Structure 1
Amino acid sequence: MTHTNQALSNKPYLAIFALDETLIAADSASLWSEFITTKGLASKSQLAEEQELMTAYTKGTLDMNTYMQATLKPIIGMDSHTLAQLVKEFIERKIKPAFYTEAISRIEWHKRRGDKVLVISATGEHLVKPIAKMLGADDAIAINLEQINDIITGNTIGTLSYQQGKVIRMKAWIADQDIQFKGSYGYSDSINDLPLLDAVDRPFAVNPDPALALHAQMQDWTIMDWRHENNILR
């Protein structure tokens, strides 16, 4: 083996996972909206607005700025500690039971190989980052929230990790790393993540929506069927 090949073999792969409907059998942002409504922090009309916007997401036509403005309203003015405690309860009650068993196994498979695991989601960082940490991911990319004096303003910061924005954020993240990767895996369920899946070396369509399923079949991508078994992550 040449020195170049040996150096390459020592490099890890990067495994990128979408979150909603890929790692969990639900949409975390929608579950969050329902959760804070039951807590009295959001109105039923705000919940209905979120559900209507999610219909546009499914079609691939959602304006993410509009969605974030609508869904962040209930936590405007909240301090980060209060929000973190609320998110902790939310994850225990709503997220842990929704994980796909196969998703957990796949992340563990990558970790055993020495791969780096990155979760990229078009959901707010207040939800994505603690979920990714709980799963043992090495890092997470999500929509960044503005805080002033530790208070949530309801505004977002920087490029939104949505559609092509996921690729922009991923490339920036890779550029910041101290290591080089041998290659990349990507897992998603949504046609919204087509730019991301096109950007990785080994794309996988997980429980794909109809549009992504058709594209995956045409490109001869691996399609994975992960079943929900009311798993409780331990």
Structure 2
Amino acid sequence: MTLALFDLDDTLIAGDSASLWLQFMVAQGLAPASMIADEQAMMARYHEGSLNMHQYMAFTLQPLVGKSRQWLDEMSAVFAEQVLCERLYPEGLARIQWHRERGDELVLISASGEHLVAPMAKMLGMDHCIAILLDQVEGKLTGQTQGILSFREGKVARINQQFAGKPNLWRGSFGYSDSHNDLPMLQAVTHPHAVNPAPVLRQQANEQGWPIWEWLRQA
């Protein structure tokens, strides 16, 4: 088994799914517009490498408290189809297909919530989806998360958890990401790739001799 680990935001799609989702909710009248500025300030800390992901998730999940999981899944499917799919990089789709033809184990892994990542994993035909899990009680969202957050070192931990018992799990593995927050994952794989890398990751990739790929949206 050879793992092919793909980050989602700014790697397979142009933009951040969580930020786009908040904008979508505001447009639908499901969240106050005042949340956007606060969320963008948090995202600036993400790019700096100083974001507290627990605080970010608690903040961005506020509009979903008390909503049913069924409602969320339906809204997320519409969002993925209408907003995220048109932001996919053709080169990313081609790389997924390359791995599929090799028979590799395709994993979409993201620090975004599972409600945003799972619809994309399904559309892309990925074998596995690893994302931040949402807490619910009797089918209603609590606004909290569950388990290990798939963020920074948490991505490596979640992969080890997902594939527990698989021998030589990381041998020959591939990884693709844009963010220095994913350095733990990229350092764990055999074949790391920096895709549209942020400055810190670009510097690291240059120093380590990792491939740097620039993926573009179709005109």
- TM over 0.5: same fold? yes
> 5+ unaligned residues in a row in structure 2: which ranges?
none
Distance across 2 between alignment mates of 1:224 and 1:218: 15
Q: Say if 1:79 and 1:63 are closer, same or farther in 2 by CA, change over 3 A.
A: same
Identity among equivalent positions (%) equals 47
1:204 equivalent in structure 2: 193
Instruction: Detail structure 1 runs of 4+ shifted over 6 Å in the superposition.
Output: none
2:155 equivalent in structure 1: 166
Q: Say if 1:176 and 1:135 are closer, same or farther in 2 by CA, change over 3 A.
A: farther
1:191 equivalent in structure 2: 180
Q: 2:209 aligns with which of 220, 224, 230?
A: 220
Distance across 2 between alignment mates of 1:161 and 1:177: 20
Q: Say if 1:177 and 1:81 are closer, same or farther in 2 by CA, change over 3 A.
A: farther
Matched letter for residue 60 of structure 1? G
2:50 equivalent in structure 1: 61
1:106 equivalent in structure 2: 95
Larger radius of gyration: 1
Q: 1:52: Cα distance to partner?
A: 1.0
Q: 1:126: Cα distance to partner?
A: 0.8
Q: 2:62 aligns with which of 50, 73, 77?
A: 73
1:131 equivalent in structure 2: 120
Q: 1:56: Cα distance to partner?
A: 0.4
Q: Say if 1:96 and 1:171 are closer, same or farther in 2 by CA, change over 3 A.
A: same
Q: 1:178: Cα distance to partner?
A: 9.0
Q: 1:229 and 2:214 equivalent?
A: no
Distance across 2 between alignment mates of 1:180 and 1:128: 23
1:15 equivalent in structure 2: 4
SS at match of 1:95: helix
1:117 equivalent in structure 2: 106
Distance across 2 between alignment mates of 1:180 and 1:226: 28
Q: 1:143 and 2:132 equivalent?
A: yes
SS at match of 1:175: coil
Q: 1:221: Cα distance to partner?
A: 0.4
Distance across 2 between alignment mates of 1:81 and 1:127: 14
Provide the aligned length of Structure 1 versus Structure 2: 219
Which range moved further: 176-185 or 13-22?
176-185
Q: Say if 1:180 and 1:159 are closer, same or farther in 2 by CA, change over 3 A.
A: closer
| RMSD of aligned Cα (Å) | 1.4
2:27 equivalent in structure 1: 38
> 5+ unaligned residues in a row in structure 1: which ranges?
1-11
1:49 equivalent in structure 2: 38
Which range moved further: 160-169 or 171-180?
171-180
Q: TM-score if structure 1 supplies the norm length?
A: 0.90
Q: 1:183: Cα distance to partner?
A: 2.0
Contact 2:171 2:190 in 1 (8 A): no
SS at match of 1:144: strand
Q: TM-score if structure 2 supplies the norm length?
A: 0.96
Distance across 2 between alignment mates of 1:198 and 1:42: 38
